[in-house]
A = this chain, B = another copy of it.
Amino acid sequence: MEAPAYQRIAATYRNRIMTGALRPGDQLPTEHDLADQFGVARQTVRAGLGVLVTEGLIVARRPRGYFVREREHMIYRPQQKSRPRPAVPEMDRFSEQIVASGRKPSYAIEVALIEAGADLAERLRVAPSSTVVARRRVRFINGEPTNINDSHFPIDLVRDSEIMLPAYLPRGTDQVLVELGYPQHRAIDEILVRMPTPDEIHRLGLGPGTPVAVHFDTGYTSDGRPVQCAINVLPGDRHRIVFERHFA
Residues of chain A touching chain B, judged by Cβ–Cβ distance below 8 Å, are: 11, 14, 18-20, 23, 54-56, 71-72, 78-79, 81-84, 117-119, 128, 183-195, 197-198, 209, 211-213, 234, 236-237, 239-248
Smallest beta-carbon distance A108→chain B, Å = 21
Which chain B residues lie closer than 8 Å to A117 at the CB level? 18-20
Which chain B residues lie closer than 8 Å to A71 at the CB level? 192
Which chain B residues lie closer than 8 Å to A193 at the CB level? 193, 211-213, 234, 236, 239
Give CA–CA (A198, B119) in the complex, Å. 32
Chain B residue with Cβ nearest A174: B247
Give CA–CA (A187, B194) in the complex, Å. 26
**Contact A83 B236, beta carbon cutoff 8 Å:** no
Q: Which of A79, A84, A236, A248 has the most CB of B within 10 A?
A: A236
Q: How many subunits of this chain does the assembly comprise?
A: 2
Contact flag A20-B119 (CB < 8 Å), given A191-B241, A243-B243: yes
| 10 nearest A-B pairs in the assembled complex, by CB-CB distance | A20-B118, A211-B211, A193-B236, A191-B241, A189-B243, A82-B247, A19-B117, A55-B195, A187-B245, A193-B213
Partner of A211, one of B183, B195, B240: B195
**Contact A82 B246, beta carbon cutoff 8 Å:** yes
Partner of A82, one of B23, B54, B248: B248
**Contact A209 B190, beta carbon cutoff 8 Å:** no
Partner of A197, one of B18, B81, B209, B211: B18
**Contact B55 A187, beta carbon cutoff 8 Å:** no
Smallest beta-carbon distance A169→chain B, Å = 18
Contacts A55-B195, A82-B248 supplied; 8 other A-B pairs, CB < 8 Å: A56-B195, A79-B245, A184-B247, A185-B247, A190-B241, A191-B241, A193-B234, A193-B236
